[in-house]
Amino acid sequence: MILEDLLHDRLASAFATVAGRDVDPAVRASPHADFQSGAALALAGELKRPPREIAAEVAAETDLDGIAAVAVSGPGFLNLTVDGAFLTGALRAAAADERLGVAPVAGPERIVLDYSGPNAAKEMHVGHLRSTVIGDALARTYDWLGHEVIRVNHLGDWGTPFGMLIEHLLDGERSGDGHSIGDLTGFYQAARAKFDGDDGFRTRARLRVVALQSGDPVSRELWRTLVGQSERYFLDVYRRLGVTLGPEHFAGESRYQDDLAGVVADLTARGLLVESDGALCAFPAGFTGRDGAALPLIVRKADGGFGYAATDLAAIRHRVRDLAADRMLYVVGSPQRTHFAMVFAVARAAGWLPETVHAEHIGFGSILGADGRMLKSRAGDAVKLADLLHQAESRATAPEIAISAIKYADLSSDRRGDYVFDWDRMLAITGNTGPYLQMAYARVCAIFRKAGRGPGAVTVAAPAERALALALLGFEPAVRAAAGHAEPHRLAGYLHGLAAAFSVFYERCPVLRAGDDATRASRLGLAGLTARTLHTGMFLLGIEAPDQI
Ligand code: ARG
């Protein structure tokens, strides 16, 4: 049950009576009361009446079931205080429900969630960390709310680099030095250096791409070796990160190779492709470059090869037609915003993406170094995710604390913005951090170890109990907001607020040394619900919640 919704409905009908039309009372949590509405102020002009007078009339019209008081304050705000018995009832209902009173969504959707998507034969870099961590939190949240989530790991496992990578692998075999692909970046860089500096190698690499694309068995076999090695490496990273991606979720670019000719044929038949410098391009309406010229989406390159956009078009067709997606979300960095907007536009024009299917790019900003620039390693190149995890594991006492700290730092900042990667801040045990949440959770667990009994029926009396009760009842709106906006930081911020409310409560309201048995039972009830709410919320974010630290 969402308190805001209840108060919203009560006020909405009172406002409708007073204003003679539907009004959104915009109920918000407030430091001045439990909740506040400023809607009377917004109506003053239209009704040509003083806002305080409107507010007073609305207060008088409000159905007080569940509300202890509606008071006019300041220039015409309505301050709402929730009825104590009502709070108690709502908490008891949440405590009695294994889902903490959060019902599964009424209309479950099939959501295809595209996240992580690293590139084979290259190390994952920190940009893939954001996609992986944010995507996984969303997958867990949608799952828990009752949607059907199909996780898709759109691995970059195809394209021209594989020509040079296979040749480089073969060179190692020929010379017997067995070039190691254990060090993916080193392997890639060595191949790249040869490609740039050696004409003979470059020619072989080009021929190898052609052979690979036409299905030559030896080339395919070597390609499989390279991709397989990368997949094992990525799975190890996922395991260390504690994300829910497994081998069954790999659906790399190579899967769509056989569909690409059909994509071109379909688009051509619909008159959506134009030849431009030998390439086949779509020009979806409304996309222009800086010079004002229409932006092309290159579907087939001049050399006959297909690129990233063609594969994404084929993937959309597959996800709508074969996977029957209701919603498709792509957790990919913000620089790819235009790519996705154009791909969606072309897919809609081609009839592959009907209006009933929602497609959205869930973009995110960059991770910055202390200097405010893109995070770089000391050598000046992109930071490898594996190195970061290694640093984390060696820095803190327990790896689950350090890994959670990295994940939480990412999840707690608004994904649309950039954030600064700062070990000291993310590992701090105060503030909106992973360790703070984990300590708060472990502290509540410790109370129960000492109590020797379970939680009892909650009664809300002291102000700090009331504040904690209101915080606990904020769980459902926080989860729904995080899901609705695809913004895990809304849930993270909520959990931090809940942990803070618990710590004030714990300071002011003795639990085990409470004066009487009923109070002790009730406070244990509040503590128990806090533990379960923190645990569930942390689980949804993919943050470990150990009982003891
Ligand atoms: N491999 C891509 C990259 O590293 C991300 C793939 C995202 N998903 C997609 N369907 N395009 O940038």
- Measured distance between the N- and C-terminal CA atoms of the chain, rounded to whole angstroms: 33
If residue 361 lies in a helix (H) or strand (E), which one and from where to where? strand 358-362
**Cα 351 from chain centroid (whole Å):** 29
Q: Atom 4 of ligand 1 has which residue's CA nearest to it?
A: 118
Cα 451 to middle of ligand 1, angstroms: 51
Q: Are 149 and 111 in contact (CB under 8 A)?
A: yes
114 pocket-lining for ligand 1 (C-beta < 6 Å) = yes
Q: Are 458 and 88 in contact (CB under 8 A)?
A: yes
Q: Which two tokens stand for residue 247?
A: 């081998």
The CA distance from 289 to 296, in Å, is 9
Task: Give the mean pLDDT of 346-370.
Answer: 96
Q: Which two tokens stand for residue 43?
A: 């109506």
Share of the chain above pLDDT 70, in %: 98
- Residue 376: pLDDT band (50, 70, 90) is confident
Q: Atom 11 of ligand 1 has which residue's CA nearest to it?
A: 312
What pLDDT shows up at residue 371?
87
Return mean pLDDT, the chain. Answer: 93
Q: Which atom of ligand 1 is nearest to the CA of 333?
A: 12
130 pocket-lining for ligand 1 (C-beta < 6 Å) = no
Task: Give the mean pLDDT of 128-152.
Answer: 97
pTM confidence score: 0.94
In a mutational test of the pocket of ligand 1, which residue from 317, 332, 366 has the highest number of ligand atoms less than 8 Å from its CB? 332
pLDDT digits (tens, 9 = 90+) for 381-429: 777 888 888 888 887 678 889 999 999 999 999 999 999 999 899 999 9
Cα 333 to middle of ligand 1, angstroms: 9
Q: Are 102 and 540 in contact (CB under 8 A)?
A: no
Cα 415 to middle of ligand 1, angstroms: 17
Q: Which atom of ligand 1 is nearest to the CA of 336?
A: 12
Cα 121 to middle of ligand 1, angstroms: 14
- Residue 357: pLDDT band (50, 70, 90) is very high
pLDDT digits (tens, 9 = 90+) for 220-269: 999 999 999 899 999 999 999 999 999 999 999 999 999 999 999 999 99
Q: Are 384 and 119 in contact (CB under 8 A)?
A: no
Amino acid making up residue 436: Y
If residue 72 lies in a helix (H) or strand (E), which one and from where to where? strand 67-73
The CA distance from 9 to 44, in Å, is 21
Cα 83 to middle of ligand 1, angstroms: 51
Q: Locate tokens 């470990």: which residue? A: 544
| CATH class of the region 3-82 | alpha beta
What pLDDT shows up at residue 455?
94
The CA distance from 60 to 72, in Å, is 10
Q: Which two tokens stand for residue 195?
A: 């490609």
Task: Give the mean pLDDT of 115-119.
Answer: 95
Task: Give the mean pLDDT of 93-118.
Answer: 97
What pLDDT shows up at residue 374?
83
- Residue 62: pLDDT band (50, 70, 90) is very high
Q: What are the residue ranges spanned by the domains of the chain?
A: 3-82
Q: Atom 2 of ligand 1 has which residue's CA nearest to it?
A: 117
Burial of 71 (0-12, 13-18, 19+ CB in 10 A): middle
Q: Locate tokens 């397989």: which residue? A: 228
What pLDDT shows up at residue 181?
66
**Cα 330 from chain centroid (whole Å):** 10
Q: Is the pLDDT confidence value at 182 over 80?
A: no
Q: 382 to each of 37, 388, 421, how far by Cα in Å? A: 48, 11, 13
pLDDT digits (tens, 9 = 90+) for 263-314: 999 999 999 999 999 999 999 999 998 999 999 999 999 988 888 999 999 9
